Amino acid sequence: MLFSSVSFLYVFLPAVLLVYGLVPKKWKNHVLLASSLLFYFVGEPIYVLLLIISSLSDWLHSLYIENHRGEKSAKIALVSSLVINLAMLGFFKYADFLLTTVNDLFGTSIPLTKVPLPIGISFFTFQTMSYTIDVYRGDAKAEKNLATFATFVCLFPQLIAGPVVRYTDISTELHERSVCMDDLYIGVKRFVRGLARKVLIANAMGEFCSLYREAAEPSVVFAWLYAIAYALQIYYDFAGYSDMAIGLGRMFGFKFPENFDSPYRSKSITEFWRRWHMTLGGWFRDYLYIPLGGNRVPKARWLLNIAVVWAATGIWHGAAWNFVLWGLYFGALLVLEKLFLGNWLKKLGAVVQHIYVIFTVLVSFVIFNARSLPQIGQDLGRMFGAEGIPLWSSETGTRLSGYFLLFFAAVLFVTPLAEKLIAVMRRKSLGRGIIAVLEPVLIAAAVITVTGFLVDGSFNPFLYFRF
Amino acid sequence: MEKTLKRTVVVLFFLLIFGLSLAHILLPDTEISVSERRYLDTFPEITASKVFSGRYFTELEAYLLDQFPLREEFRTVKALTEFYALDMGETGGIMLSEGHLLPVEAVFHEGQAALAVEKMNDIVETCLDGEAYLAIVPDKGYFLGEETPREIISYVTEGVHARYIDITDLLSLDDFYTTDSHWRQENILPLARELCRELGVPVVPAAGYSRADCGTFYGVYAGQSALPCAPDAMAYLVSGGTENALVHSIETGDMAVYDPAAIGNVDPYDVFLGGPQAVVTIENPNAVSDRHIVIFRDSFASSLAPLMIDSFREITLVDLRYVRSDLLGEYVDFENADILFLYSTSMLNTASLLK
């Protein structure tokens, strides 16, 4: 089930909010667990068993680890838990990728499994793995109550597309939480903001990308516009979904970690990755990069660590070589920045730094969105006039004029301008008065407009489902 | 003030989601969307296989979307946002130009046009017992300078073994409804008379026709775009021929040339010759000639053929979207009959629909 669907907005959410609000405190986790399983069942009727098995496995392993702390068997239990999680992920997500690669390399014809990818498997396996590791390390106490633990794993606001919430982030709230007017206000605002970002901007940018793919008259400018549109689509899509998740969590009394912090304002790729998909970056840092030795190792080993972490980051996003390339591309940029590029750029000033980030990120998302390795070459080549395509075409003009305001709005909202304006307004009493009137009106208008788009629209993909 | 603002935001949000949710439950389902000319989804039947395959939830979402309270109004919100707030120039694939709603220019599908050419040439080869003619109705975009209709006309006229009668100069954008794809019958009498002359039959004086109004309607593009717009007025032209002709459809039997009450149908163009029909014959013993013409057509001919009744003893209308061409011998008598292919450019660009 998508958050940006009529069945979620007008059936599931009101029903869950109503029941959750009515039941006594001790039943609230059970309501959340049952509704989360239903939420997953709607999208994946069979794979809901996988979710249950995963929860049960990690709950049992962690209890064992806690009861045998310091013993060798605790380590064996940890390894067993990780193997089960990684085997699940490996089979459902990477088996066919591996088989295809083997077939391509050796000319074999090993049949593919053709097993469909369970929605959100990369998210929930990473969450459960971090929990077991935290219990092993002593950073978290093993949860005794299976229902409470399963509520953490299955919690529908963050189940299928993150943020990658760790048990330690919400362990207190899993046992004791309350919802006040402030939580509801912040939750509603955040949820509606995410909904509008996803439905009004990301979907429209996605349509523009489709128009580029179908273009009869591609041009260099059209290729760049496509790159910009896709970078905006993926940001508004994923950041919008994270907003919705964080907002929903807040409505039920959970404070999920932030996942995006205006990444396109960054002045380096290092900074970009501190602002983009922060919970995943944090996961790889704490559970892979640092255990590998981080940067406190000889240079050659450090370079290997970077390569491993970024190849893993890339392939986490999808079982295809373009994702591996995308991850390694960022790994290489990060290494270069640490070695010399970062200092060079600082000397050149903020404008050059921003141009560098925008350029490298646009290139990265062209790689990310390619359907095959040859298409990476084609898409990037077109941005620089390959295939003899013209600089401009009448179709480019037609499409740009149709989407100009959307581009303008989408770019405007990734700059700090709107936030600064609101901050200035909040300092004056007149400004606060205007906000008091405008905010409810804008939120209601956003819900109504989004509903209009949902009721009439058929174009509502969600990019991060495949991860 | 802060406290009031927070309460207002929360209350508004909950009112919207709970209110619309409740309205969805309480309001009765609607059977038909008149603006979209289709039946709306009904509540899906629950079966174990559908639930466990996930199909049930897909059907449920479709039902919820179709039966959403104030659905038309919400569609209009989207249309207004796209068209005016975002200035996208189109909504739902429909644009507004010179006061007319019309689809965004389609790409020329040469393969489709080739299918049309092949189909028409097959008919010429197998059925023709007289002369063969071809006339093409340009889409509204033709009059706004679009290339695709021109490409289609050029391609098809070169390929079909029939004499081409160019009717494009006899039309202008004003001859079409503003919210629909079709032409206005009251505006095409000169075209019909010219066509008859080209087909070699005498024409009756234009004064022999009187205009009758049958009300207003919203055309297909109004429904598709959901943009607020004024309805079109529909009129039809009556003559001795249209009053006395005998009209027979192989599907619905005998009928009148015009059915003004059909303006309330899902497709208001049903007013003319009963709308979409596989084979319709129109006999007029008082016609000024004893010629028989078979018109292979789409919906444009429904309003054109009545204006040719006074000139032909018999007109047979064949819509190959509803009858297979290899079965035509069972329903149509081609002996001594001329053939006219009368298709719109959009039909020729989607010719795989022709059987």
pTM strictly above 0.95: no
Task: Name residues 25-64 of chain A within 8 A of B (Cβ).
Answer: 42-46
* Chain-chain contact of A7 with B60 (C-beta, under 8 angstroms): yes
Query: How far is the C-alpha of B190 from the C-alpha of A54, rounded, in Å?
Result: 76
* Chain-chain contact of A453 with B3 (C-beta, under 8 angstroms): no
pLDDT confidence of residue A459: 45
Is the preceding peptide bond at A163 cis, omega within 30 degrees of 0?
yes
> Would you call A451 an interface residue with chain B, using a CB distance cutoff of 8 Å?
yes
pLDDT confidence of residue A266: 96
In 3D space, the residue among A104, A120, A122 whose CA is nearest the CA of residue A112 turns out to be: A104
pLDDT tens-digit series, residues B238-271: 998 899 899 999 888 999 999 999 998 888 889 9
Q: What is the mean pLDDT of residues B291-319?
A: 94
pLDDT confidence of residue A465: 52
Q: For chain B, percent helix, then strand, then coil, each to nearest 5?
A: 45, 20, 35
B85 Cβ partners below 8 Å, 6+ apart?
A405
Query: How far is the C-alpha of A64 from the C-alpha of A114, rounded, in Å?
Result: 35
Tokens at A324, concatenated: 């591996």
Confidence of residue B216 (pLDDT cuts 50, 70, 90): very high
Query: How far is the C-alpha of A212 from the C-alpha of A226, rounded, in Å?
Result: 6
CA distances from B60 to A2, A13, A348, B52 (A): 13, 16, 57, 14
Task: Name residues 207-266 of chain A within 8 A of B (Cβ).
Answer: 216
| Domain map (residue ranges) of chain B | 25-69, 109-353
Nearest CA in chain B to A426: B2
Query: How far is the C-alpha of A17 from the C-alpha of B14, rounded, in Å?
Result: 10
pLDDT confidence of residue A458: 53
B209-244 b/e (C-beta count within 10 Å ≥ 16 → b): beeeebeebbbbbbbbbbbebeebebbbbebebbee
**Over 60: is that where the pLDDT of B148 sits?**
yes
Query: How far is the C-alpha of B218 from the C-alpha of B214, rounded, in Å?
Result: 13
pLDDT confidence of residue A460: 46
Give contacts of A13 with chain B, Cβ < 8 Å: 17
* Chain-chain contact of A42 with B1 (C-beta, under 8 angstroms): no
pLDDT tens-digit series, residues A175-207: 999 999 999 999 999 999 999 999 999 999 999
Q: How many CB atoms lie under 10 A from the CB of residue B288?
A: 16
Residues of chain A with pLDDT under 70: 458-467
pLDDT tens-digit series, residues B122-140: 999 998 788 999 999 999 9
Task: Name residues 238-277 of chain B within 8 A of A (Cβ).
Answer: none
Query: How far is the C-alpha of A263 from the C-alpha of A233, rounded, in Å?
Result: 14
Active-site positions of A read 317
E strand map for chain B: 32-33, 38-39, 94-97, 100-103, 132-137, 163-164, 210-217, 232-238, 246-249, 253-255, 279-283, 292-297, 314-318, 337-344
User: Mean pLDDT, chain B, as a whole number?
Assistant: 92
Residue among A2, A9, A10 with most chain B CBs within 10 A, to mutate: A10
Confidence of residue B334 (pLDDT cuts 50, 70, 90): confident
| Domain map (residue ranges) of chain A | 6-177, 183-456
- Report the Cα B133 to chain-centroid distance in Å: 22
> Would you call A181 an interface residue with chain B, using a CB distance cutoff of 8 Å?
yes
pLDDT confidence of residue B108: 86
Give contacts of B13 with chain A, Cβ < 8 Å: 188, 192, 443-444, 447
> Would you call A189 an interface residue with chain B, using a CB distance cutoff of 8 Å?
yes
Please say whether the beta carbons of A209 and A231 come within 8 A. no
Q: What is the mean pLDDT of residues B194-221?
A: 91
**Over 80: is that where the pLDDT of B71 sits?**
yes
